[in-house]
Structure 1
Amino acid sequence: MKMKNIHIQIMSVQNARVKEWAQLLERRGRDKQGKYLIEGYHLVEEALRAGAMVETIVYSLEKGAPAGWDDLDQASSVEWVGVSPAVLEKCSDTQTPQGVLAIVARPQLGIDELLAGEHDLVVVLDGVQDPGNLGTIIRSADAVGANAVVLGRGTVDLYNPKTIRSTMGSMYHLPIVEADLGVLLPLAHERGVRLVTTSLQAERSCYDTDLRQPTWLILGNEGKGVSPEVAAQSDVQVIIPMQGKAESLNVAMAATVLLFEASRQRLGGM
């Protein structure tokens, strides 16, 4: 395997760099360093292919450097560090480390960049707490070609290791922005965006609502739903009709239904 960078080896868990990497398993460490950690061959390769700001690739000396990344130009421009099993275990959030992880700088995408780009179909999350739900929503948004995902305050950290794993790499396929919804939503509305929220009390079916125009789908906290402050800014509230006896859908399932309904309509299905 051809690599331009010299490989460094670190064997001790007491090494200062290892301690810094381990801090990235916690939000406080990620916020302090402005970086996050991804783990596993698929995720690291996906980050490299997407042009994410990968700084360091850490791999198991026992297993050797990952093969098959020769054609990825970025793989030859990052730092490669071979480490002991103990170091990998200290920096891993999983019970059985795969043998490779990467340190990535967090992107600085803000409200201005979001509003300046395409915002035809966007998912907005208001206080979604579960990492698995957030990851699934990002995957669904990616699947239908949505333009972005917005994380309002109180939403689980995108760079939580569990969230990252549940995105299955989709976090690298579309912009994901953290924002104050009280500031962002009025700006979006001024640009002609229709704000659609979900509510169990809504009388209007999502299937009877035109989702072909620029639309932001707003989903709320698993237990409380969309906050009153955010709901007050919406143009229309919709419900997903159910013929069975289930009281409601999981927020990730609801987001997926709405996204695919919007996609169906846009493909000429309405």
Structure 2
Amino acid sequence: MNVNYDPLISSVQNDKVKQWASLLDKKYRDRTGQFLIEGVHLVLEALKGSVGVMAIIYDAERGIPAELATVREERQAAGTNDAEWVQASRAVMAKCTGTDTPPPVFAVVTKLSADTKTLFTGNCLVVVLDGVRDPGNAGTIIRSADAVGADAVILGKGSVDLYNPKTVRSTMGSLFHLPIIEADLLALLPQAKAHGIKLIGTSLQAQHTCYGYDWTQPTWLLMGSESEGLSRDVREQVDESVIIPMVGQAESLNVAMAATVLLYESLRQREYNNL
């Protein structure tokens, strides 16, 4: 494999560079159906999955990271290396990633697609975000959902854009491992109820702790915004609210920590209750 054959782009005024950099803006992500991922780990995760990787751009001074070079050779041998590989100057890398210290590689990827029918099947566990606006919190919840084997994550209106670069980074690749759907909750929640799925929220006024709820039944876990919790319309759909007990002096847990506690209680009941 001779990477010298990869085209080199050094000018930030190049049309391709302008197109890539535009994907830092949600408007252009929505218009093109593409988004950016940064760093070796995320690019590797995308290449391992069924994601459409359109182009892989790496720092010409550093060369292709060793892990990616190996995967590239394997994909070439298998005839599946359909992504465009491009060398770029440090200035181009910085412009397209919006960071002071640009990563060694980034990629242009097509937006994910997921079938909403999977949300209602079997003994499902789905995490629903209602107005969660912080990219770090949303990304952490997606990672936790992935870690416990949840079936999907739903981002309701008012939540952070899944394809915001900060959100993408904070998922650490978990967005490629489970269905993540952006949807109107007021349309989806009644459908869940019609399928016999319990809608569970959290409340400081709840009468039962999260350890008393039966997480082995089909459940959608509803988590609200960092400052206001669940919106009124969504709260009215909740079948039961639980509270996470706290015996120390902390006033509360942030939404990502709370979701993680609840998801791991679900995992304990579903997989480890008889140990």
TM-score by length of structure 2 reads 0.92
Cα offset for 1:22?
0.5
Counterpart CA distance in 2 for 1:2 and 1:191 is 55
* Alignment of 1:236 onto 2:240: yes
Q: Which amino acid aligns with 1:58?
A: I
Distance 2:37 2:230 in 1: 30
Distance in 2 separating the partners of 1:57 and 1:74: 17
| In 1, Cα distance between equivalents of 2:264 and 2:146 | 11
Distance change (3 Å), C-alpha of 1:75 and 1:59: farther
Instruction: Check whether the contact 1:93–1:161 (CA below 8 A) recurs between aligned residues.
Output: no
Q: Report the residue type matching 1:197 in the other structure.
A: G
Q: Where do residues 185-264 of structure 1 align in structure 2 (5 Å cutoff)? A: 185-264=189-268
CA contact (8 A) 1:126 1:218 kept: yes
The aligned counterpart of 1:10 is 9
CA distance in structure 2 between the partners assigned to 1:26 and 1:91 by the alignment: 11
Identity level (%):
55
- Encode CA deviations 1:101-153: one digit per residue, 9 max, x unaligned: 10001123353x43465661110000001000001101100110000000000
CA RMSD, 1 decimal: 1.8
Q: Are the equivalent residues in 1 in contact too, given 2:59–2:105 (CA < 8 A)?
A: yes
Deviation at 1:258, TM superposition (A): 0.4
Summarize the alignment of residues 56-75 of structure 1 with structure 2, pairs less than 5 Å apart.
56-66=55-65, 67-69=69-71, 70-72=73-75
* 47-56 vs 114-123, greater mean Cα deviation: 114-123
Match of 2:102 in 1: 97
The residue that corresponds to 2:135 in the other structure is 131
- Take 1:126 and 1:260, find their aligned partners in 2: how far apart are those partners? 20
SS of 1:101's partner is: strand
Q: Which residue of 2 aligns with 1:19?
A: 18
Contact 1:118-1:147 at 8 Å conserved across structures: no
**Which one-letter code corresponds to 1:45 in the other structure?**
L
Instruction: Quote the residue 1:55 is aligned against.
Output: 54
Counterpart amino acid of 1:68?
T
Distance 1:144 1:74 in 2: 34
Shift of 1:268: 4.2
1:172 deviation in Å? 0.7
Q: What secondary structure is seen at the aligned counterpart in 2 of 1:155?
A: coil
Q: Secondary structure at the match of 1:207?
A: coil
Structure 2 portions without partners, runs of 5+: none
Distance 2:194 2:81 in 1: 45
Q: Which residue of 1 aligns with 2:29?
A: 30
Matched with 2:172 is 168
Deviations 1:4-62 (A, max 9, x none): xx622222111111111111112122112111001111110111001211100111121
Deviation at 1:77, TM superposition (A): 1.3
Any conservation in 2 of the 1:126–1:152 contact (CA below 8 Å)?
yes
Q: How many residues align?
A: 267
